[in-house]
Amino acid sequence: SMPKFIMLLHDSGTFPPDISPDEIQAIIQRYVAWKQKVLAHGRLMDGHKLADGAGRVLRGTVGSPKVTDGPYAETKEHIGGILILEARDLNHAIQLMSKHPGVKAGPFEIRPAEDLTGMIRESEQRRAGGSAGGA
């Protein structure tokens, strides 16, 4: 399987609020065409636009976790959406994402995702071995 990359869309609010239904349809058509190309050369695992104002921050503390409103940042850009993509390498992910119609709305941060499958498998094997001989 190919490495996975997480794309964070930094939304700067550059699309006008009075965008017409025809313009929205054109954007959707460009996205569908982009998605078809990605599926031919990589693999789009998942993607979502983030809802405005619905977030909370969960922080681990001594005792129970603490939940606060947020996140808040001193910037005009905020994370507006995420995509998970499989690609051969970082350059391939950049190549695939460079054609995404959302690049015009704001930059994408492209980050490799660490594959934790092996670590999780080892942990499950240790727990299964420990519970069979112990408790």
| Rounded CA separation 135/84 (Å) | 40
Provide the pLDDT for residue 76.
63
Whether 42 has a pLDDT exceeding 80, the answer reads no
Provide the pLDDT for residue 133.
46
DSSP for 12-41, written as a single string: ---S-TT--HHHHHHHHHHHHHHHHHHHHH
For residues 127-133, average pLDDT: 68
Q: Is 101 exposed, middle or buried (0-12, 13-18, 19+ CB in 10 A)?
A: middle
Predicted TM-score of the model (pTM): 0.65
For residues 66-77, average pLDDT: 69
Radius of gyration of the chain (CA): 20
For residues 2-20, average pLDDT: 76
Report which of residues 54 and 121 the model is more confident about.
121
Tell me what the pLDDT averaged over the chain comes to.
79
Report which of residues 34 and 44 the model is more confident about.
34
For residues 18-30, average pLDDT: 84
For residues 59-66, average pLDDT: 80
Whether 8 has a pLDDT exceeding 60, the answer reads yes
